Amino acid sequence: MKANSILLLISTTIYASIDGDNAILQKDNHHRGIVFSQNYSQENSPPEVKILMPEDNKVYTWNTQVRYVINVSDATDGDSKYGEIDGNKVLLEIEYLPAGKEGATAEQIKKAQATPEPKGLALLKQSTCLGCHADKTRVAGPSFQEIAGKYEQNAAVISSLAAHIVKGSSGIWGSMEMPAHPDLTEDEATQIADYILKQGANKYRWIYPGLEGAFRIINKPEKNPEGIYILTARYTTKSNVPGMQSIILKIK
What is the reported pLDDT for 4? 43
Non-local CB neighbours of 184 within 8 Å, separated by 6+ positions: 123, 127, 165, 166, 192
Segment holding 53, helix H or strand E: strand 48-53
Instruction: Let me know whether 32 and 122 are in one domain.
Output: no
Q: Which domain holds residue 78?
A: 45-251
Residue 128 lies in a domain: yes
pLDDT at 103: 52
Is residue 145, in this structure, part of any structural domain at all? yes
Question: Within this chain, do residues 67 and 18 fall inside the same structural domain, yes or no?
Answer: no
Residue 43, pLDDT score: 62
pLDDT of 229: 92
Rounded to an integer, what is the distance from CA 105 to the centroid of its chain?
19
If the chain, 252 residues long, is cut into consecutive pieces of 10 residues, what is the mean pLDDT of each piece?
39 36 39 37 81 95 96 96 92 87 63 77 83 83 88 89 83 74 88 91 92 94 84 92 91 90
- 189 with 162, same domain: the answer is yes
Instruction: Give the pLDDT confidence score for residue 124 in this predicted structure.
Output: 84
Task: State whether 101 and 184 are in the same domain.
Answer: yes
DSSP β-bridge partners for residue 7: 17
pLDDT of residue 41: 52
Q: Is residue 191 part of a domain?
A: yes
Q: Where are the alpha helices (DSSP H) in 40-118?
A: 104-114
Q: Does the residue 64 lie in any domain?
A: yes
Same domain, 28 and 136: no
pLDDT digits (tens, 9 = 90+) for 241-252: 999 999 999 998
Residue 246 has a CB neighbour count (10 Å cut-off) of: 21
Within-domain flag for 1: no
**Do residue 136 and residue 241 come from a single domain?**
yes
Q: 128 and 29, same structural domain?
A: no
Whether residue 65 sits in one domain with residue 133: yes
Residue 141 domain-assigned (yes or no) = yes
Verify that 32 and 140 share a domain, yes or no: no
Q: CB of 136 within 8 A of CB of 208?
A: no
pLDDT (tens digit per residue) in 41-98: 556 789 999 999 999 999 999 999 999 999 999 999 999 999 999 998 899 999 998 8
Q: How many domains does the chain have?
A: 2
CATH number at residue 202: 1.10.760.10
